[in-house]
Amino acid sequence: FLKAGDNVVICSRSAERVESVRNDLKKEFGEQHVWGTVCDVREGKDVKALVDFARDKLEYIDIWINNAGSNAYSYKPLVETSDEALIEVITTNTLGLMLCCREAINMMWNQPRGGHIFNIDGAGSDGRPTPRFAAYGATKRSVVHLTKSLQAELQMNEVNNVVVHNLSPGMVTTDLLMSGATTKQAKFFINILAETPDVVADYLVPNIREIPTNQSMKPTYIRFLTGLKAYSRIFSVRTL
């Protein structure tokens, strides 16, 4: 987004991480284009404060991306998963998403140009099983349902200036993904299907930006790793 000339607000639970990332981005894109603040998406007051911070810095928010997610860095059967890990996953991925959607919709509803909200899916969102991270998969399955329900609510309330979309980055080589690469099968799929964040962003960002640019108010599901692309990669490797 910064490469395209947009102004961006970033957030994290960690003040140190926000400051570190913001300093790196400022060096490349300038202080006047990127701002950062601390926000725990599991806390309603934090999300409200994030909205206020973003409006103060940007005036208008055209695009809001809900990409906070956690599996508590835990890959084990549900029966072995601690209460703390389950609470971390569910409050971050489900409660946090709901709080962010609520505040983003309220904010965009009240700005004349409206806006677009993008909810990021993950493993399990298509209904396939996610053994060893069942709680994570269950929360990601709920992302698609929540998006559809919010789309229906906005239509029911005749809100025409706010749209909620789904965004699918596929397998991205983040710490979250790599922490689960402990089996031969997991390593195989990561080696074949995973991409670095910059490759995924180079595809997703233009597709996201063209929606408000074209003034489209139609819900979309933007996918980086489609089923056809995944199967073609897998079978290409197996036939070599």
Residues with a catalytic annotation lie at 136
Alpha carbon of residue 192 to chain centroid: 22
How many Å apart are CA 68 and CA 79, to the nearest integer?
25
Q: Which residues pair with 65 in a beta bridge?
A: 118
- The alpha carbon torsion through 197, 227, 216, 212 (nearest 10 deg) reads 0
How many Å apart are CA 91 and CA 96, to the nearest integer?
6
Residue 111 DSSP symbol: S
**Exposure class string for 51-87: b at 16+ Cβ within 10 A, else e:** bebbeebeeebbbbbbebbbbbebbeeeeebeeebee
